[in-house]
Structure 1
């Protein structure tokens, strides 16, 4: 076996051997120094008191180091975390002399307090370190405060001096001496003593070198401790052995506490390393001379340089773009000078491969565990994508505003509750003369709003004499609030155009009537000649009867009656012509389609006879009356029948037939006029109802357009079809009167 190994085997025995040698030497010294007992007791008292001083100072030093360590962790650990609370509870259990533990601000406000037996929380308004002795609550105590790294909070611990003495003075010392703590004026603060024993007057006082300052440790020898040398020696040996065991146990305890502290420190370091590794923000630290002393993993990935490559580097930094050196240097100088921007610094950096990227830097002072300023710490956030998205969003917003301002319609968005105008386009501001710098304002809704169904209404601006088509919709704004979207389109021109179109339609209808009147002048002359000729004949007959010697009065009366009927017939013809060509607004009333048809056929009777056309009429029985303008419908029937007669000019005489159908079809009157003419091609049928389009060489092309307008004005339809037997048939419908028409007729 080697010599070092043999020595290590005997190494644990050395303290015991030394203790035995010391005990024997001490006993021999006592036997040989009976006459010097008083001196020996005094020396022993001093030695024991020095030992006790060392034990108290070691415990205070340990507590102070533990408090400093707890305060240093608050830059990465919050007071409400389980780790911090566990460390505090462990310290309080290990050191019972700490009667209270709290975290306070600089004004003495308690931010966090640990649950202890006494539950003391002394407000602290100092600058750190030990406070004066406080004797409130019946027990002397002293406060120790440590400033946290953020310079805003204090870790405050209250030490109970009596508990400190009770815990640190072992029983064998307490049996021999009365141990007391004195202040600077030698006033007793705390003591540990045996009530049944009296002191001998032999005492010794020693100043504690460890804080709290100006405390003294005093030991008074008990009278029962002064015995014969034979009695003292065994007791002293026993006490010495126990003291060695106690000190060894205390030493082992301190070693265990230190080991636990080291384990917690390792866990804290591992935790900080895990946090540092998981960060996506780059971290960089400079010393007070501006040299890089630390970079984390995320920063290295940002710039492409390792922590070893950047350590001790000074400006210009390798990750500064050449074109941004001045700006980066200015930011660096501002950070080193301690200028802190609340929103951070925006700079552009360069990766190792030359790629540029934008970052936002937030900087703060870097302090050590003692609160000393040792440099600066900066956190960098890559905002390249955020800036790109923001620029894209801004461009999209500008495009949206450009499109919105390019609209002819006025667009506005208002808050559904307050009526505040949230957004409007340029056309809205111009239309309603809103100033550019108007600030927040509310507007009055253009139309009455409702959610369902959405509002589509017309609104007239009496101030500017404009008509608007308003569409009002309820929607949701970007912040989730309810808003109203209103789109107002200026339809003044459309309204004016519609009015002009109505006037032109009436003019065309009037022109059509006049043209139709001119075309049927010969027919009208023939119709008027018949009653006028009959009247002339009856007048001649009356003269002849009156010239006879005995006039036949009954026969004369019949002739006069016939003359009156023919005169009435001529008057009806003239009145119908006048109403037909008279320009007036439509006047609806109940009328019989058969009466209208008879009137038109009577007007065209001469043409029908001259052209040799056979008329056939088919209708349902019990045909109800219709609610329409009789003169307008007569014009439609006149134009359609006249066109049908003219379409059969080239048709053989025996095939010239005109069929008129009057049918009741689900609430409407369906009128069909069919001829046997040459027909109309599909291409011509598509253009047939357009204004100024005509299939006749002498036609003006407005008759059918007017006819369709009249039918649509009566809420009906008109179309043209091919006649299955050859020729063409025109069809139109007119609704039978409903409830509204009946009410309107009753009001007339």
Structure 2
């Protein structure tokens, strides 16, 4: 299978190789030609310069010989002879480089100067060639010869620049820039064409004959070439490059085309695989409704093969007889271009006769030239979707039924706008929202916050009812942030709580009265002491007054003692009245030590009667409390009284009552420990329940009331076993370290 393609692979790079070979050969030809041309130019330059050297040397020698001949013809001292003047004129005219001619008799000043001379140098007394000089920027040299009579000297001034200009022919000046250099290498004169630029290469030749060991230098000009001659090599190079580039581009295009064909085949296979993997049925028809193509999902939905469907026109075999009109109407609408963006809901029939619901969408089928050649249909099986929608509708109805059956009012509102999005029937009834309300906004019951969720109570002044408000932020079905609020009517609970509070107050008062009844004998003993002292002091006052000379100082002291005992009796009665009277709770600043002293004074007789050893341990500098002092006195009173009664069966030597007042962070910690028989685990579980008691004559309300009082003060009460026997009752209440604390 690969042999037919082998020549094609070799033929593809062949034009490129030929073009590359041509370019290489042509470049070699140009290099060789250029080298030969350069060699010829160099040889021509050497030949021209040798000729020019010879020409200059011959002219210098001719000038010298002409001057010698002129000096030989001078007849004695007669320099005015016509023959001599004619020779001078001829010499200067035929040799323009001779710019000065003078006759000297041995002195520096000339005896005679040729009228045609432009410049004359003084005589230095030497014959032959003189020193090189530059006068007014013009390089000159003198030649001096002596006349035959040895009486005169002919001095000629020769301009080297004029010599160079006249001795370099025009054709040589067109080729080279010719310069004459002095012995020091300085340029004395040059002949060049201003429109040409000399090259960097120079040829130097030294003049063998005088004057003054001069050097001749020639720099060839760039050879002027025609535009065609310059462009022709480049055009050939460009042509070769274009051939190479076109061959490379053609090869690249062929490779790209092959790659595109491979990708096209892969993409076609991928598209076919994607089309066949879709669960959506695809069908292509022409403008008349004739089926052109169906995918695998379409055939699986209908049960007909693609060969059976391609080429058919409506009516199609999967249209149920009972739905033929609806199917035909949908087909006519599509062919007429009346496309519904929501699709057409129709029912089709499988080859087995099973019916299924579909939604049919249609769009124009456009070919690669942009022409409308048919219609593309997408078919979705919505049978299961309809079943799920019905189930979802039923579930929603059940949810609404359950939501409307709640006693709590439920509402959902938008976080940003406050618009009411949903509410149940209880919410509408509780807050008077009509069914026809439309879109509306609700005002939050309480101040909202995200963390922690709101859990507060709210009183409705219109309906005069209390509600428990639970509010938290949530996410709605469209992803927006909403507030979910649940308002539960707790008016009945509030009423019951108030009733329970009044009952607790009654029970507390009853418990105090019972406690005072139980302590009647102790109170009578406490009152007997001040009353007996008053009676004794009254009898003593009578005796003092009955004496002939009463001692008034003793009488005053007795009266003061009577007043103190009366005041003590009044304090005992006032404390009992405050303890037992019924009143509302009233908090104020108080000291725990003072409260404990009051209770110990009330129970002092009981402590002595029961022979109990009371010890007190108190931390220094305890802050004040902000509490109801009478309630705390009742708690301490009940706990100490219970501790004394618990030690009835304890031997007197072990009856120890330990009271500890300490600080536990921001709380006061009070511990009352006894050495009684202790409590069993079953008793510990039910100890604070109403009507539970371990005494034969108790009501079972004391500890329950004590715990309620402590919890009312934001504290805590518990009981635990006392190491060594007995029990320890502990309660904590917060300190009030704020100077302006108020009643909550």
Aligned to 1:514: 513
| Number of equivalences | 472
Distance in 2 separating the partners of 1:619 and 1:362 = 89
Deviates more, 1:416-425 or 1:620-629: 620-629
CA radius of gyration, larger in: 2
When structure 1 is superposed on structure 2, of 454-463 and 378-387 the one drifting more is: 378-387
Residues 642 and 285 (structure 1), Cα distance of their counterparts in 2 relative to 1, 3 Å cut: same
Q: Distance in 1 between matches of 2:422 and 2:517?
A: 62
1:357 maps to what in 2? 356
In the superposition, relative to structure 1, how do residues 274 and 611 fare at CA in structure 2: closer, same or farther (>3 Å)?
Answer: closer
CA contact (8 A) 1:287 1:293 kept: no
What CA deviation, in whole Å up to 9, does each residue of 1:357-408 have, x standing for no partner?
321235799999xxxx999986533334543554454455445434433443
Q: 1:649 aligned to 2:648?
A: yes
CA drift of 1:333 comes to 5.8
Give 1:669's aligned residue.
Answer: 668
> Which residue of structure 1 aligns with residue 694 of structure 2?
695
Q: 1:296 aligns with which of 294, 297, 306?
A: 294
CA distance in 1, matches of 2:604, 2:647: 16
The residue aligned with 1:198 is: none
Alignment of 1:321-400 (within 5 A): 325-332=321-328, 335=331, 342=340, 343-353=342-352, 356-362=355-361, 380-391=379-390, 393-400=392-399
Q: Counterparts in 2 of 1:161-176, with a 5 A limit? A: none
Q: Deviation per CA, 1:556-583: give whole Å up to 9, x if none.
A: 2222222111111110011001111111
Distance change in 2, residues 1:329/1:509 (3 Å): same
1:507 deviation in Å? 1.8
Measured in 2, the distance between the counterparts of 1:536 and 1:273 equals 126
Corresponding position of 2:261: none
Give 3-state SS (helix, strand or coil) of 1:743's partner: coil
Partner of 1:557: 556
Is the 8 Å Cα contact of residues 475 and 482 (structure 1) preserved in structure 2?
A: yes
Please list, as runs of the form range in 1=range in 2, the aligned pairs for 1:114-133 lying within 5 A after superposition: none
- Over 3 Å counting, the alpha-carbon distance change for 1:666 and 1:609 in structure 2 is same
Q: Is the 2:283–2:291 contact (alpha carbons within 8 Å) kept by the matching residues of 1? A: no
**What per-residue deviation string (whole Å, max 9, x for no partner) do you get for residues 19-70 of structure 1?**
xxxxxxxxxxxxxxxxxxxxxxxxxxxxxxxxxxxxxxxxxxxxxxxxxxxx
Deviation at 1:495, TM superposition (A): 2.4
Give the conservation status (yes or no) of the 8 Å contact 1:411–1:485.
Answer: yes
Tell me which residue corresponds to 2:532.
533
Paired with 1:317 and 1:572, the residues of 2 have a C-alpha distance of 112
Task: Give 1:743's aligned residue.
Answer: 740
Alignment correspondent of 1:319: 318
Query: 1:478-497, aligned counterparts within 5 Å?
Result: 478-497=477-496
Partner SS, residue 670 of structure 2? strand
Contact 1:331–1:345 (8 Å) recurs in 2: no
- 1:662–1:345 CA distance, 2 compared to 1 (3 A): closer
Deviation at 1:641, TM superposition (A): 1.2
Contact 1:277 1:297 in 2 (8 A): no
Instruction: Give runs of aligned pairs for residues 138-149 of structure 1, distance below 5 A.
Output: none
Task: Tell me the secondary structure at the aligned position of residue 488 of structure 2.
Answer: strand
CA distance in 2 between partners of 1:418 and 1:672 (Å): 56
1:498 matches 2:497 = yes
Q: Which residue of 1 aligns with 2:434?
A: 435
> What is the aligned partner in structure 2 of residue 617 from structure 1?
616
Per-residue deviation, 1:491: 2.5
TM-score (norm 1): 0.56
Q: CA deviation at 1:475?
A: 4.0
- Gaps (5+ residues) in structure 1? 1-267
Partner of 1:445: 444
- Structural RMSD (CA): 3.9
Deviation for aligned residue 1:499 = 2.1
Aligned counterpart, 1:589: 588
How far apart are 1:312 and its partner, in Å? 7.9
Task: Give the corresponding residue for 1:547.
Answer: 546
Structure 2: distance between partners of 1:481 and 1:362: 31
Does structure 2 retain, via aligned residues, the 8 Å contact 1:282–1:302?
Answer: no
- Cα gap change, 1:451 to 1:305, in 2 (>3 Å): same
Counterpart CA distance in 1 for 2:363 and 2:507 is: 88
Q: 1:378 to 1:682 in 2, by over 3 A?
A: closer
CA shift, 1:422, in A, is: 1.7
Evaluate the alpha carbon distance shift between residue 307 and residue 710 of structure 1 in structure 2; reply closer, same or farther with a 3 A threshold.
closer
* Superposition deviation, residue 304 in structure 1: 1.9
Structure 1 residue matching 2:549: 3-state secondary structure: coil
Q: Measure the CA separation in 1 of the matches of 2:632 and 2:287.
A: 103
Say which SS state the counterpart of residue 612 (structure 1) adopts: coil
* 1:334–1:659 Cα change, 3 Å: closer
Q: Is the 8 A contact 1:276 1:296 kept in 2?
A: no
Aligned residue in 2 for 1:463: 462
Matched position secondary structure for 2:677:
coil
DSSP-derived class of the 1:671 partner? strand
Change (3 A) 1:726 1:449: closer
Quote the Cα distance in structure 2 between the aligned partners of 1:374 and 1:535.
129
SS in 1 for 2:740: helix
What residue is the counterpart of 2:415 in the other structure? 416
**Structure 1 residue 553 displacement after superposition:** 2.7
* 2:283 match: 283
Separation (CA, whole Å) in 2 of partners of 1:576 and 1:736: 25
